Amino acid sequence: MAETQSPKELIDRLTAWYQPIVDLNTGEVRGFEALMRVVQPDGQGHSAGPIIESLEDDLDALVAVIERLMTCIRKDVVPVFERYGDFYLSVNIPPSIIGSGRLRPIAESHDLVHWGRRLVVELTERQALSSLGRAAVRLAREAGIAVAVDDFGTGHSGLAQIVGLELDILKIDRSLITPALTSRSAARMLRGIVGLAESLRMRTVAEGVETTAEAFYLRAVGVDYGQGYFWSKAVPAVEMPAIIERGFASTLEWPGVD
Ligand code: G
Ligand code: MN
């Protein structure tokens, strides 16, 4: 018999895991993206995407998901913020939450407002360009929280509109990265996007980096940071300090010739 679970039961199963974001020049960890996971009895973390999608039209349930995420961040990340100075935390927050004015009270009740400069809200390209998304960008920045455009390259929305928004970080989708290694026109497009971000004073993060060749190429074209399985999947919070201390410098050294 199939079990049906209430939104609350589904939400209680969620926990946040953290994927490192790596400086392509030094290999140091500059940030983490918090990703919601459902931890299985064998310890594996499965994506919470299907659960969150099933709640998409239920604003109160979405608020409860974000409450849960903030509770995890308060417990997991604030002690790491206190111990290590220089990294940020990215969170995926639906614009409906920010636009309805619910983000700041949630952040306040979890004592996170004070960390505002080190928190980054990620909105997908598609979300950022909707009217709700534009309002959300403004509200997040007014609350002192930085904003990243996620999945850049998947929204078919045109560069011109992104230029009009005040944004801090551009996350370049894997679909723009992989072809750039083999196609000259795709490489030109990637370079153009990096140049645009630079002139808008936005930091760039390459998403979904999986190979050494991609990491070296991205560094060569001037992308700031990378995120992807090449360095690490999302990990449970207890692994964050070791990852910060170790960093990933060795992955960005040219292979030794001797
Ligand atoms: O779009 P967003 O940044 O929210 O996507 C994060 C998702 O991408 C996560 O579910 C994560 O597991 C997945 N992901 C992270 N790193 C990689 C990678 O190197 N390759 C691929 N294909 N997916 C990745
Ligand atoms: Mn994201």
The domain tally of the chain equals 1
Residue positions counted in the chain: 258
Give the count of beta carbons closer than 10 Å to the beta carbon of residue 186: 16
Higher pLDDT, 184 or 135: 184
Side-chain-side CA neighbours of residue 248 (13 Å): 24
Residue 17, strand partner residues: 35
Higher pLDDT, 256 or 15: 15
Residue 225, strand partner residues: 23, 205
Asked if residue 89 is part of any domain, the answer here is yes
Q: How confident is the model at residue 1 (pLDDT cuts 50, 70, 90)?
A: very low
Residues flanking ligand 1, CB < 6 Å: 19, 35, 47, 92, 150-151, 174, 207-210, 228-229, 234
Q: What is the pLDDT of residues 108-161, one digit of tens each?
A: 999 998 898 899 999 988 888 888 888 889 989 888 899 999 998 886 656 777
Asked if residue 248 is part of any domain, the answer here is yes
Per the structure, the complete domain to which residue 157 belongs is given by: 2-252
Which atom of ligand 1 is nearest to 171's Cα?
3
Asked if residue 67 is part of any domain, the answer here is yes
Asked if residue 257 is part of any domain, the answer here is no
Q: How confident is the model at residue 104 (pLDDT cuts 50, 70, 90)?
A: confident
pLDDT of residue 132: 86
Asked if residue 232 is part of any domain, the answer here is yes
Q: How confident is the model at residue 7 (pLDDT cuts 50, 70, 90)?
A: confident
Distance CA 75, CA 68 (A): 11
Q: Which residue CA neighbors atom 21 of ligand 1 most closely?
A: 208
Average pLDDT over residues 242-252: 96
57: left (phi over 0), alpha (psi -120 to 50) or beta: alpha
**In sequence order, what DSSP letters do the residues of 79-146 get, joined into one string?**
HHHHH--S-EEEEE--HHHHHTT-HHHHHHHTT-GGGGGGEEEEEEHHHHHSHHHHHHHHHHHHTT-E
Distance CA 21, CA 17 (A): 13
Distance CA 165, CA 161 (A): 7
Asked if residue 59 is part of any domain, the answer here is yes
* Average per-residue pLDDT for the chain: 91
Distance 177 CA to ligand 1 centre (A): 13
What CATH number is associated with residue 84? 3.20.20.450
Asked if residue 118 is part of any domain, the answer here is yes
Q: What amino acid occupies position 39?
A: V
pLDDT of residue 232: 98
Asked if residue 218 is part of any domain, the answer here is yes
Q: What is the pLDDT of residues 42-65, one digit of tens each?
A: 989 999 999 888 888 888 999 999
Average pLDDT over residues 92-109: 88
Q: What is the pLDDT of residues 164-180, one digit of tens each?
A: 888 999 999 999 999 99
User: What stretches of the chain adopt beta strand conformation (E)?
Assistant: 14-23, 29-39, 45-47, 88-92, 119-124, 146-152, 169-172, 203-207, 225-227
Q: What is the pLDDT of residues 192-238, one digit of tens each?
A: 999 999 999 999 999 999 999 999 999 999 999 999 999 999 999 99
